[in-house]
Structure 1
Amino acid sequence: MTTAPTPTAAAAVIERFLDWATDPRLVILDTETTGLDGEVIELGLVDGSGRTLFEERFRPTCSIDPRAQAVHGITDADLADCPSFGERWPDLRDLLTGRRVVIYNKRFDLPRICATLDATLPGWFAAPGGVAGGSADLHAFNAISRSAECVMDAYSPLAGSWNGSYGNYRWARLADASAQRGVDVSDLTKHAAVSDCVQVLRLIHACAALDPADFPWIGHEDEDRL
């Protein structure tokens, strides 16, 4: 009986992208916000076939930081007639529940969603009548947060920038990762939620097709060759 060879570290990294690319439960999430510590004002969801599941803007409870506006181009006036995030949360929650959620930099998007729920749906986390354990919304959000996966983390070994001081790979911006992998973004709008979801999906497929032999440094970081 022949023993199957042990996958290389690089193969394991690429296998994760292949797993995402072939999972029918996949959904990619992206947001635009009022600022780095602000509220969600646009959210997009795209499934593994590139179909848009959700695309909407929201009226925040605060003004948009000019620095954020310079990035995504969304103004306070653009959002004046939009629903609040809290109004649309039930639909969004149901779309995400039971799906395999992936995000490029989940450390940013998930806390912003939580903060936006706090701002637009006060008390959303409390169970009716003060019952211990929290609301159904809280349980749903926690389940989504725990299972959500970060494409930025997964990609960092492929970018190949080793940080010896911290013993890990440096993160790559989505634009830089896409450029490295030759992802076509010519038909996409920069910093628009659904377009960014599509860009992440294309990056996933590009990485799923990579040859592990082209990434010999992965698994040999202690050799200090980077």
Structure 2
Amino acid sequence: MTQSEKPKIPRPDADTLAQQQADALATFQRWAADPLSLVVDTETTDLTGDAWEIAAGRLRDAQPLLDLRGEPQTPWSPRALELQAPDIQDQLRGLPHLRTHAQDIRRLLDAHHVLAYNAEFDHDTLERTCQVTLRGFECVMLAYAPLAARWSESRGYWKTVKLSEACELEGVPVERRTLHGARVDMRLTSELILAVARRAASAT
């Protein structure tokens, strides 16, 4: 059976979507109300490479509690280099690998309720880079998917959207940029969560 011949999975009806969206809004409100919510983001040399930057900040004010860079030990992919300043490798040269901060990173994360836009990626990246075992992160991207309401007929679930797209849908300003950074994405994720929580509160 070809891709075009596979049966399409119908989009949930309006009542089901409404319930799923209400559940999603409640999740964002819960995160916003939790004083221990911590938002984390990383930058890596490749999809399975070392993290070279980590930023973590309190959700309620995006106050940075962790802002570290280190020279990675894994090769850079061409795509990862395209997303950074031309001299990024020179900027990082000689900085201690993030693994040297492993215990400080683990203690901070274990003391908080950790949120990340792409939680599985950031969680696995930090475990691999720092060689530590971390508790699970909650995924903002998956929680937001029903709110974006883009259904995959072939897979039968709500499609995820990029952080920048989710921010645009919620009216969170996103500066035009070609470079990626953990600090910026941590702040945008925090602002997105708070924007959705405010929308949920205004609807009740």
| Category of TM-score, reference length = shorter chain | 0.7 to 0.9
Tell whether the 8 Å contact from 2:83 to 2:178 is kept in structure 1 after alignment: no
Q: Could you state the TM-score of these two structures normalised by the residue count of structure 1?
A: 0.75
Distance across 2 between alignment mates of 1:21 and 1:90: 27
Tell whether the 8 Å contact from 2:28 to 2:196 is kept in structure 1 after alignment: yes
Structure 2: which amino acid aligns with 1:34? Answer: T
Tell whether the 8 Å contact from 2:168 to 2:174 is kept in structure 1 after alignment: no
Pairing partner for 1:53 from 21, 45, 65: 65
Aligned to 2:166: 177
Q: Match of 1:196, SS?
A: helix
Between the two proteins, the alignment pairs up a number of residues equal to 184
Aligned to 2:95: 82
Pairing partner for 1:197 from 148, 161, 186: 186
Question: Aligned-residue CA RMSD in angstroms?
Answer: 2.4
Q: Match of 1:72, SS?
A: coil
Distance across 2 between alignment mates of 1:64 and 1:72: 11
- Does 176-185 or 68-77 show the bigger shift? 68-77
Distance across 2 between alignment mates of 1:186 and 1:87: 33
Pairing partner for 2:44 from 33, 37, 41: 33
Structure 1: which amino acid aligns with 2:21? Answer: A
Q: Could you state the TM-score of these two structures normalised by the residue count of structure 2?
A: 0.82
Gaps in structure 2 of 5+ consecutive residues: 1-17
Distance across 2 between alignment mates of 1:103 and 1:24: 16
Tell whether the 8 Å contact from 1:64 to 1:76 is kept in structure 2 after alignment: no
Highest Rg: 1 or 2? 1
Tell me the CA shift for residue 115 of structure 1. 2.2
Tell me the CA shift for residue 64 of structure 1. 2.0
Q: Match of 1:76, SS?
A: helix
Q: Note if 1:209 corresponds to 2:201.
A: no
Change (3 A) 1:75 1:18: same
Distance across 1 between alignment mates of 2:143 and 2:184: 20
Aligned to 1:14: 25
Distance across 1 between alignment mates of 2:201 and 2:29: 12
Structure 1: which amino acid aligns with 2:187? Answer: V
Tell whether the 8 Å contact from 1:10 to 1:212 is kept in structure 2 after alignment: no
Gaps in structure 1 of 5+ consecutive residues: 1-6, 119-136, 215-226
Q: How does 1:130-209 map to 2 (within 5 A)?
A: 137-138=132-133, 141=134, 144-145=135-136, 148-186=137-175, 191-209=180-198
Change (3 A) 1:188 1:199: farther
- Does 10-19 or 186-195 show the bigger shift? 186-195
Tell whether the 8 Å contact from 1:30 to 1:103 is kept in structure 2 after alignment: yes
Give identity over the alignment, percent: 31
Aligned to 2:83: 71
Tell me the CA shift for residue 164 of structure 1. 1.9
